[in-house]
Amino acid sequence: MSELHLYNSLTRQKEKFEPLHPPHVGLYVCGPTVYSDAHIGNIRTFSSFDMIYRYLRYKGYKVRYVRNITDAGHLTNERGEGVNRMESQARLESLEPMEIVQKYTVGFHEVCRIYNLLPPTIEPTATGHIIEQIQMIEVLIEKDMPMKSMDRFILT
């Protein structure tokens, strides 16, 4: 395999990509929060990861591509107040929150199909992994890690 160099946003340098467990590569992208229709701004992220996924596979790596579905949660509005967008959209459409999740997850998958994006290897939901999220946050707190926004993707 020829060398692959990627920009590391942590070090702000281009670095040689070396998987932790060659030839296996883990690729994670934060998936959509499914409370409204996907748009071109959403798809830009996923088409970029699709390209990376395809390229890594082409180069011979065995890729586990994970893209989550954020199916619950309080997000922040412009005034810094907590707003549960699933519940807000459910009220607007006279549906249950999980009906909103289902409707817009199906819609997201349809848009991905239209743009010919490959499906991820694994597509977990946020609500299906709350225990793991709490455990990960506890580890970060224990290590005194800063709690600022995460990078958009992780390669291992």
Mean predicted lDDT score pLDDT of the chain: 87
| Residue found by looking up tokens 């934060």 in the block | 30
pLDDT the model gives residue 87: 87
Using alpha carbons only, what angle is made at residue 101 by residues 94 and 106, rounded to the nearest 5 degrees?
A: 110
pLDDT the model gives residue 122: 97
Q: Which has the higher per-residue pLDDT, 56 or 84?
A: 56
- Cβ burial of 67 (10 Å; 0-12, 13-18, 19+) is buried
Q: What is the pLDDT of residues 30-72, one digit of tens each?
A: 999 999 999 888 899 999 999 999 999 999 999 999 999 999 8
> What domains does the chain contain, in order, with CATH numbers?
5-155 (3.40.50.620)
Q: What is the pLDDT of residues 110-144, one digit of tens each?
A: 999 999 999 999 999 999 988 998 898 888 888 88
